[in-house]
Amino acid sequence: MDVPKRSLLQAGMFLLVCFPACGPGRGVREQVPGLVTEHAMVVSAHPLATEVGVAVLRDGGNAVDAAVAVHYALAVVLPWAGNIGGGGFMVMRSSDGTVRTLDFRETAPLAASRDMYVNDAGAVDTAMSQHGHRAAGVPGAVAGLHAAHDSLGTLPMQRLIQPAIDLAAQGFSLTALEASWLNGALPALRSYSTQNSTYDERAHWSVGDTIQLPELAATLARIRDNGPDEFYALTTADLIVAEMQRGAGLITKSDLVAYRPVWRAPVHSRYRGLDIHGVGPPSSGGVLLAQLLAAMEPMDVQGAGWQQVATVHRMVEAERRAYADRASYMGDPDRVCVPVAALVDSAYVHRRMSDFDPRRATPSAMVEAGVPVEHEETTHFSIVDAMGNAVSCTTTLNGRYGSHVVVGGAGFLLNNEMDDFSLAPGAPNAYGLVGGEANAIAPGKRMLSSMTPTIVTRDGALFMVLGTPGGSTIPTSVFQVLLNVVDHDMNMQSAVSAPRFHHQWLPDAIQQEAGAIAHSDSAVLARIGHRLVVRESIGQVDAICVLPDGRLEGGADPRGDDAAGGY
């Protein structure tokens, strides 16, 4: 799909619309103020990456320029998720209202096979699908960033990559979170990488330590000078192939040369007068979000109350049914027929909810996929520029630090996205998701994703830009933040900061952050048949809302080092 370069460059005036500040709905905690700027904003998972994006916007770059710069910066300062060795999805909305989505998801190597993780006893070897060289899919990030820039960018690519090169070469100070996660990953990094890297040059990293990544700086400089061919055909490609050969991996030069990002049609849905724009398969996120919102439309969500029994119960029952559909129908649309239009049709969703019992939970064992009729570790950033262009981008290595393989001599981590395929019938992946035939492994195929980068408009005007990491919890996190703003009248930062819960059909349990659901409400939910478990934090939403006066409010998730910036 060819994308005209001029579309995002048109700096037209547009009407800025937001919901009136009505005060929080029943049960909502006190509002948390967020950063408010006059013209432009970047919200990302790291303060240094946010600074890089804001500098690009101040220099006259547009939202896509800033997205490219932020992505490359995150590949340096957020090594457990930011990447050039992974892939993702990007939703772009120009100031003229045109919405486009770019799929730069990883692909299975040509030597991959359907049962490659099934041993002789018929059991799935999840260690191989989640760690080491055979867990890696063919990376799409570099090709995707250059495709977006070639079509929609304005500043020279060299300007956009240079800040990441400087960060890698000069070094940066580790935050408490970075030091903790890097220390936790060191044994695996040493075990699965075939050569030493800067990450494991110390036995223990402390807060405030400066880490320099000279090999990564050199790799980024080669990409700056040679473009995407550097990653897929030249020196860096040779380093990837050499790493694969040392570790008995599958990715070859042919795999790298053959990789292409794909422009795809956005998934569009509506909720209470809003237009929701997201990504379609091979991401399940846009479809799931559309189904969840359609299931909630008939309910007076605000009247039922935030995180109250009736609200939580219906949200969970909607999630249960949507994730059952995900398991049966969704996969790479270039390889299987995914009935997107039928799945997001509100009449279909209402039929799926017809057996909803407001007094009783439906056991997941009794929930199967419907019959549509045709007619965790990831990172996200949201950007709005001064011209009204917006980007919502989610990118990932899959697990934290991906496959734990650092490409020798290149300094970057490879993904473990092969675990996102259906490894065998009924076998859960690292996130507990169960898949079906549509997502079976095949050479060159894109694995199913949960990424849900989203742009929301009202009456043709930009309203929200949002998304999150979190594996299988991504769609439900975006879903909850949307409801928090639209139905519970929270401001952006409060909506992002509020505690969350999640259900995904299997395993059959409401996973909740501590304090997400009051003890009294949890007791009632348990009595009507729900099982509740407390887990670690869910997602790290980074979001922007356009206020009624045209200013921008950021929501940077306090669950991480996320930061909003702008001018």
What residues contact residue 180 under an 8 Å CB cut-off, 6+ apart?
Answer: none
Tell me what pLDDT residue 22 has.
Answer: 33
Nearest to 128, CA basis, from 398, 377, 406, 416: 416
First to last CA, the chain: 34
Distance CA 456, CA 399 (A): 28
Kindly give, in sequence order, each residue whose CB lies less than 8 Å from that of residue 6, ignoring residues fewer than 6 positions away. Answer: none
> How far apart are alpha carbons 20 and 36 in whole angstroms?
16
What are the DSSP E strand ranges found in 138-273?
172-173, 210-211, 262-264, 267-271
| Strands annotated E in 206-340 | 210-211, 262-264, 267-271, 274-278
Q: Give the separation between CA 167 and CA 74, rounded to whole angstroms.
A: 10
Q: Residue 36's closest CA among 24, 21, 23, 48?
A: 21
Q: What is the pLDDT of residue 20?
A: 32
Residue 47, classified by CB atoms within 10 Å of its CB into exposed (0-12), middle (13-18) or buried (19+), is middle
Of these residues, 219, 378, 395, 457, which one is catalytic?
A: 378
Residues 416 and 86: beta-carbon distance below 8 Å: no
Q: What is the C-alpha separation between 191 and 198, in angstroms, rounded?
A: 15
Give me 552's structure tokens.
């921008």
Q: Of the candidates 560, 504, 514, which has an alpha carbon nearest to the alpha carbon of residue 535?
A: 514
pLDDT (tens, 9 = 90+) of the chain, 567 residues, equals 333 333 332 222 222 333 333 334 566 668 999 999 999 999 999 999 999 999 999 999 999 999 999 999 999 999 999 999 999 999 999 999 999 999 999 999 999 999 999 988 888 999 999 999 999 999 999 999 999 999 999 999 999 999 999 999 999 999 999 999 999 999 999 999 999 999 999 999 999 999 999 999 999 999 999 999 999 999 999 999 999 999 999 999 999 999 999 999 999 999 999 999 999 999 999 999 999 999 999 999 999 999 999 999 999 999 999 999 998 899 999 999 999 999 999 999 999 999 999 999 998 888 776 666 543 678 999 999 999 999 999 999 999 999 999 999 999 999 999 999 988 866 676 666 666 789 999 999 999 999 999 999 999 999 999 999 998 999 999 999 999 999 999 999 999 999 999 999 989 999 999 999 999 999 999 999 999 999 999 999 999 999 999 999 999 999 999 999 999
- CA–CA dist 353, 16 (Å, integer): 35
Q: What is the pTM of this model?
A: 0.92
Of 503, 366, 373, 415, the residue nearest 88 (C-alpha): 415
Q: Is residue 454 annotated as a catalytic residue, yes or no? A: no
Residue with tokens 């029943």, as numbered in its chain = 26
The answer to whether the beta carbons of residues 240 and 232 sit under 8 Å apart is no
